[in-house]
Structure 1
Amino acid sequence: MKEFFRLLRRFVPPYKKYLIWALFLNLLSAILNIFSFALIIPILQILFKMDTKTYEFIPWDAAGINMKDIAVNNFYYYVTEMIASQGGSLTLLILGVFLAVMTLLKAFSYFASSAVMIPLRTGVVRDIRAQVYNKVLHLPLSFFSEERKGDIIARMSGDVTEVETSVTSSLDMLIKNPILIIAYFGTLIAISWQLTLFTLLVLPGMGWVMGTVGKKLKRQSLDAQAKWSDTMSQLEETLGGLRIIKAFIAENKMMERFNKCSNEYRDAINRVATRQALAHPMSEFLGTCVIVIVLWFGGTLILSNSATIDAPSFIYYLVILYSVINPLKEFSKAGYNIPKGLASMERIDKILFAENPIKEPARPKQLVSLDDKVEFKDISFSYDGSRQVLKHINLTVPKGKTIALVGQSGSGKSTLVDLLPRYHDVQSGKILIDGLDIKDARIADLRGLIGNVNQEAILFNDTFFNNIAFGVENATMEQVVEAAKIANAHDFIMDTEKGYDTNIGDRGGKLSGGQRQRISIARAILKNPPILILDEATSALDTESERLVQEALERLMKTRTTIAIAHRLSTIRNADEICVLYEGEIVERGRHEELLAKDGYYKKLNDMQSLG
């Protein structure tokens, strides 16, 4: 339960007012329930003419008599007076109507106590989802290279839903049931302390049995949620790879993989559901056993010569005892549900408490522009302490110049440019902008200076306008159109049905590769960054698309400081400096003609492409 209360402390405080209302309404419901059932005693006594005692009115402030005895005496006094004046039948009807009204008020209080908890439940779930999403946005890219996207989606959907159905629903039970149990047991003690003491000796055995059955539920729930994550990951991979699946006629193979995941999830959830399904019949049986034992013991007391309770009071006692069984069963149900929800919360916390090594500086220094140069000073980097991807890189990028990075795949080109916007942090060395270490600037200020155009144009399921204006506050239509014209995108946008308000589909699926790339260039143009990173922006395009994209890039690069990664050497012939990377080191640098004259690694790359 420690984990459960820790969870409540994290997420419930903003909704304290709902808890206060729930406590009040549950207390009111318990009081109304007790007093409505108390009417059973006079009703039974009237029906069976069991009470022949004469009652005299006792003043409410009478000395030497406790308030409970005065209240009971005066109540019976008024009932006997009513029977004498109105007759037993009418008195019975009045008591019956009063019982119905009390029950109606109790039912309304019970409903209101549950309804007032709904904003708390939905609010906590919304807050958890928002926190997970916010954390996902701020975690470094390295986190997602180790985690499956399907697993993250499963945690935001299935696991958060499980927390709602298991933990926050149980919170209602944990507020309502202690109030009912305390109120009911107080009433039972008032009716007969001997019978209640006997009952309390029997109940712990029932709780022990229920606890024994529920012990393995959390572990089984963790296993079930892990299988659900596998299923979601399989679905995410399938949606992302449909083209390849169809091309290699692998539908049956993927179906077998999915069926295997689904069957494993089904088996795991069956184990959890079976153990949960056992809760109700077991608590029903154990509750009946308690009633039977108390019925025997109470009957023995009544039949004995030294009876401490009469028959109508014993029936009232049994009614209250049966009422207390239900809250106890709800407690046992919460005992089953909470471990399931905590298992899901454990998986969610793996995201929420994931360490983010990219830290904001305690006292950030101002970085608003690039006035001189970008410097990479003795940069070394490795992923997770494995082999070094970059080794002692020294590179200066003067303002307004274009620096190109070339080399074989895996030589460290993309890693080097990813260090500039701090997608990863260097292990040794420094990256400086105008002499300021980028670790001393706010991350938002740093990334605000940088524009990206990647090999794969990353677009969103939105309109042309919103994709181009992405990340630029209050962009006007005139600015977006101007950016699209510079990027050679305006004409094909206007050929669509709704122009700039046309939706481009998931990841820009309605567009060709060249069109997607030109939209991403228009986005970079609108942002107007002083530093531009081009990561193989034309490598996946046909000749015509490459020409249009290259024109757009040249317009974009004017007056900007550019770092360009290229496989096609023809696209960077005019760069101010070309750096050739091999095994994480810069092995050659210079202009195109100078590198050809060196007859080294760059010339080999150039000759291979010319031959191709």
Structure 2
Amino acid sequence: MKEFLQLMRRFVSPYKKYIGWAIVLNVLSAVFNVFSFTLLIPILNILFKTGEGAKVYHFMEWGSDDLKDVVINNFYYYVTRLIEIHGPIMTLLFMGLFLAFMTMLKTSCYFGSSAIMIPLRTGVVRDIRIMVYSKVMHLPLGFFSQERKGDIIARMSGDVGEIENSITSSLDMLLKNPILILLYFATLIITSWQLTLFTIVVLPVMGWLMGKVGKKLKRQSLEAQGKWSDTMSQLEETLGGLRIIKAFIAEDKMVDRFTKCSNELRDATNKVAIRQALAHPMSEFLGTLLIVLVLWFGGMLILGDEHSSLEAPTFIFYMVILYSIINPLKEFAKAGYNIPKGLASMERVDKILKAENPIKEPANPLPLHGMNHNIEFKDVSFSYDGKRDVLKHINLVVPKGQTIALVGQSGSGKSTLVDLLPRYHDIHFGEIMIDGVSTKNFRIHDLRGLIGNVNQEAILFNDTFFNNIAFGVENATLEQVMEAAKIANAHDFIMETEHGYNTNIGDRGGKLSGGQRQRISIARAILKNPPILILDEATSALDTESERLVQEALERLMKTRTTIAIAHRLSTIKNADEICVLYEGEIVERGKHEALLDKDGYYKRLNDMQSLS
């Protein structure tokens, strides 16, 4: 319950007004319900005792005696008057119509209390979903190297959906049922304190039995949600790797993996569902058992004591109220079953929401409007796991307007080095400076605003050409987008499509060739017009013709910009102002293309291998 209350404080606070109205309407619904049931007593006690021996009631002044006795006496008095004036049949009709009217008021309030909770339920789920998405947007890249994309998707879909199904849907029950239970219990105590005392003694035993059944539900729900994440991860990997799966004729193998995953999910879900399914029949049985015990004890009071204050019609009314309390108790128990499931899902969602972001904004950021002199990597070392250094004591100066190329074997630390500049990761040792000021002293937004990226894999979105090129640039005009596309050699093939710049390019640009995707990526960087440009193997995956077009676009883009280029094809960086050769996280050689060839070192071997190939 403590976890649940903390959850309510976190997410329900903005919707307090809905809870207030729901409480008011639930109280009215309960009052109308109890009041309508009280009509049973005069109907049974007077309507069918109108002959000889029927008790005669006289009007009592309000406040002249015990309030309970006055209310009951005067109620009977008015019903007796109705019988005298209109007869028993018409009185029965009046009582029935009044009962219907009270029921209409009760159901109207009940509907109102449920309807007013809907904005709260949907609002809480929306807030959680937006919070998770926003957190994902602001977490560092290192977080996602440890998490599976499918697992994150599962938490945003399945787990958030489970929170809606179990916790927010239980809110209505948790607001309504305690009110009903309290009001019904107050009515039971007023009607017969002896019977109610007996009920209170028996009830905790039944509550304990219900608690034993629901004890393991949270742990089993965590297990089931974990299996759901595995299934989503499997699906995400399959969709992302369909080409390879088909190329290696591995369809059956993947189906077997998915079947195994689905069977484990089914087994875990079965355990949770069976334990949940037990809640209703068990509460039904325990409720009936309670009624039987109370019937027996009430029968003893009536039959065993001739002077008992409990009359048969009052006892029937008591049993009706007691039976009415069973349903709120069952729903309360059901909420007790649902909440652990939701808390298990919330625990998984909190793994994202409470994930710490090690990349901190400076307390007093310095302004950054451009780069005037250089970028400097000063004795930079970095490791992902805190154990093995990926980069070791890197010292590098990138003067304004120059192109610095990084070459070396795969895994030598080239991509990691350029990822440190926009602070996708934070360095553990050393310093990265722009114009002599550490990048940690600038706002991350300002720092990344200076940098444009063109990667080996052109990352595009399922949107139009226009929106992909204008991505990240506010209020870009069609003329500006077209100019950027022309510089990137992309305008001609865009105009050949059905709707030109308003043509959708498909999921991840799936309707385009590799060269076309890369040129759209370059047009996006051109439109951003950054002073610093990072090229991460931008042409390595292209054919010769596409490479020529992309290279032309890149050369236009690199003019007047400070560029750090990662390249496997040495032919693309021959004209760089300086080439740095990385080997196992260290710069082992540096210089211009011809000078490095003359050294007859590692760069020369790389060049010779590419010439032979």
Q: With the length of structure 1 as denominator, give the TM-score of the two structures.
A: 0.99
Which residue number in structure 1 is paired with residue 20 of structure 2? 20
Does structure 2 conserve the Cα–Cα contact (< 8 Å) formed by 1:46 and 1:88?
no
Shift of 1:381: 0.2
Shift of 1:46: 3.3
Which residue number in structure 2 is paired with residue 281 of structure 1? 281
Does structure 2 conserve the Cα–Cα contact (< 8 Å) formed by 1:151 and 1:229?
yes
Which residue number in structure 2 is paired with residue 470 of structure 1? 471
Does structure 2 conserve the Cα–Cα contact (< 8 Å) formed by 1:25 and 1:112?
yes
Shift of 1:27: 0.2
Which residue number in structure 1 is paired with residue 75 of structure 2? 75
Shift of 1:66: 3.1
Identical pairs, percent = 78
Shift of 1:171: 1.1
Q: Deviations over 1:364-385 (max 9, x none)?
A: 1111111111110000000111
Query: Structure 2 regions of 5+ residues with no counterpart?
Result: none
Q: Deviations over 1:577-602 (max 9, x none)?
A: 00010110111111111111111111
Shift of 1:255: 0.3
Does structure 1 conserve the Cα–Cα contact (< 8 Å) formed by 2:574 and 2:593?
yes
1:294-333 aligned at under 5 Å gives the runs: 294-303=294-303, 304-333=305-334
Structure 1 Cα separation of the partners of residues 589 and 135 of structure 2? 41
One-letter code of the match for 2:259?
N
Does structure 2 conserve the Cα–Cα contact (< 8 Å) formed by 1:532 and 1:562?
yes
Does structure 1 conserve the Cα–Cα contact (< 8 Å) formed by 2:181 and 2:328?
yes
Structure 2 Cα separation of the partners of residues 419 and 154 of structure 1? 30
Structure 1 Cα separation of the partners of residues 368 and 376 of structure 2? 15
Q: Secondary structure at the match of 2:233?
A: helix
One-letter code of the match for 1:439?
K
Which residue number in structure 2 is paired with residue 54 of structure 1? 56
Shift of 1:31: 0.2
Which residue number in structure 2 is paired with residue 203 of structure 1? 203
Structure 2 Cα separation of the partners of residues 383 and 242 of structure 1? 30
How many residues get paired?
610
Which residue number in structure 1 is paired with residue 569 of structure 2? 568
Does structure 2 conserve the Cα–Cα contact (< 8 Å) formed by 1:38 and 1:316?
yes
Does structure 2 conserve the Cα–Cα contact (< 8 Å) formed by 1:455 and 1:539?
yes
Shift of 1:123: 0.5
One-letter code of the match for 2:528?
K
One-letter code of the match for 2:311?
D
Which residue number in structure 1 is paired with residue 484 of structure 2? 483
Shift of 1:15: 0.6
Q: Secondary structure at the match of 1:308?
A: coil
1:142-541 aligned at under 5 Å gives the runs: 142-303=142-303, 304-541=305-542
Shift of 1:386: 2.4
Structure 2 Cα separation of the partners of residues 376 and 288 of structure 1? 77
Which residue number in structure 1 is paired with residue 91 of structure 2? 91
Q: Deviations over 1:115-143 (max 9, x none)?
A: 11111011000011001100111111111
Does structure 2 conserve the Cα–Cα contact (< 8 Å) formed by 1:46 and 1:92?
no
Structure 1 Cα separation of the partners of residues 520 and 76 of structure 2? 86
Structure 2 Cα separation of the partners of residues 85 and 544 of structure 1? 105
Which residue number in structure 2 is paired with residue 109 of structure 1? 109
Structure 2 Cα separation of the partners of residues 332 and 166 of structure 1? 13
Which residue number in structure 2 is paired with residue 546 of structure 1? 547
Does structure 2 conserve the Cα–Cα contact (< 8 Å) formed by 1:448 and 1:529?
yes
One-letter code of the match for 1:78?
Y
Shift of 1:47: 3.8
Q: Pairwise CA RMSD of aligned residues?
A: 0.9
1:31-42 aligned at under 5 Å gives the runs: 31-42=31-42
Does structure 1 conserve the Cα–Cα contact (< 8 Å) formed by 2:371 and 2:531?
yes
Structure 1 Cα separation of the partners of residues 169 and 364 of structure 2? 44
Q: Deviations over 1:25-78 (max 9, x none)?
A: 000000000000000011112342177222221222x44x23332222211111
Structure 1 Cα separation of the partners of residues 398 and 94 of structure 2? 94
Does structure 1 conserve the Cα–Cα contact (< 8 Å) formed by 2:46 and 2:54?
no
Does structure 2 conserve the Cα–Cα contact (< 8 Å) formed by 1:279 and 1:332?
yes
Shift of 1:419: 0.0
Q: Secondary structure at the match of 1:21?
A: helix
Query: Structure 1 regions of 5+ residues with no counterpart?
Result: none
Which residue number in structure 2 is paired with residue 583 of structure 1? 584
Q: With the length of structure 2 as denominator, give the TM-score of the two structures.
A: 0.99
Which residue number in structure 2 is paired with residue 127 of structure 1? 127
One-letter code of the match for 1:517?
Q
One-letter code of the match for 2:325?
V
Shift of 1:363: 0.9
